[in-house]
């Protein structure tokens, strides 16, 4: 039951409504901000497989790779991937140097990757062993390979770009 004492003094009704509206807008803004932050955090935690659609990109038959060889392929986004055969195992790395982004090259005679920009050297497993990348404890980024040993085929797992060029 309301009395005259419960009603706001004349002229302060608008202030009360404005205060409530400002509070609601601030609450909505905070909710949107924290919601976005929570989404980004969960996206970071979720395995890559759950984030976007992936496909297997045919790389080639296993016997196309000589032991110890490295071949360069392109993923669906045009990134160079270096695929190395090590016995019956395969490894794949991004060709982008983690130091400042130059392209590394495979040096077959030395069994190492070399970055010509600042003379960075990486071992066959992609770990930096000399130059600025080694000083920073860096390594070449791994690329996900799938080897179908039953059928003798090597695939690269790639994210499928959506129509806007992002993730599916």
The structure tokens listed for 56 are 């297997």
Establish if 131 lies at the interface with ligand FES (CB under 6 A).
yes
| Residue nearer to ligand FES on the CB measure, 51 or 139 | 139
Between CA 154 and CA 126 the distance in angstroms is 19
Q: Rule CB under 6 A: choose which of 66, 118, 135, 136 binds ligand FES.
A: 118
Q: Rule CB under 6 A: choose which of 81, 92, 115, 156 binds ligand FES.
A: 115
| Residue nearer to ligand FES on the CB measure, 40 or 72 | 72
Q: Rule CB under 6 A: choose which of 120, 122, 140, 159 binds ligand FES.
A: 120
Length of the chain, in residues: 168
| Residue nearer to ligand FES on the CB measure, 126 or 133 | 133
Phi, psi of 15 (to 5 degrees): -65, -45
Q: Where are the alpha helices (DSSP H) in the chain?
A: 13-45, 48-51, 132-135
Phi, psi of 82 (to 5 degrees): -100, 120
Beta partners for residue 58, in sequence order: 155
Establish if 141 lies at the interface with ligand FES (CB under 6 A).
no
Residues 77-106 that bind ligand FES (CB under 6 A): 97, 99-100, 102
Residue 146 Cβ vs ligand FES, minimum distance, rounded to whole Å: 28
104 three-class SS: coil
Phi, psi of 36 (to 5 degrees): -65, -45
How many residues bind to ligand FES according to rule CB under 6 A?
Answer: 11
Establish if 140 lies at the interface with ligand FES (CB under 6 A).
no
11 three-class SS: coil
Residues making contact with ligand FES (CB under 6 A): 97, 99-100, 102, 115, 117-118, 120, 131-133
């Amino acid at each position: 039951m309301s009395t005259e004492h419960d009603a706001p003094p004349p002229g302060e009704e608008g202030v009360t409504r404005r205060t409530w509206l400002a509070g609601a807008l601030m609450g909505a803004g905070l909710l949107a901000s924290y919601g976005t932050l929570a989404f980004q955090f969960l996206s970071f935690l979720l395995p890559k497989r759950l984030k976007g659609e992936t496909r297997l990109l045919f790389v080639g038959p296993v016997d196309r790779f000589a032991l110890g060889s490295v071949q360069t392929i392109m993923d669906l986004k045009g990134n160079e991937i270096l695929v190395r055969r090590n016995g019956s195992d395969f490894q794949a790395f991004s060709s982008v140097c983690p130091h400042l982004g130059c392209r590394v090259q495979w040096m077959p005679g030395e069994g190492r990757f070399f970055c010509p920009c600042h003379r960075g050297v990486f071992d066959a497993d992609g770990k930096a062993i000399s130059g600025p990348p080694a000083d920073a404890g860096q390594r070449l980024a791994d690329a996900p390979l799938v080897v179908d040993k039953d059928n003798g085929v090597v695939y690269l797992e790639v994210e499928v770009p959506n129509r806007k060029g992002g993730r599916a």
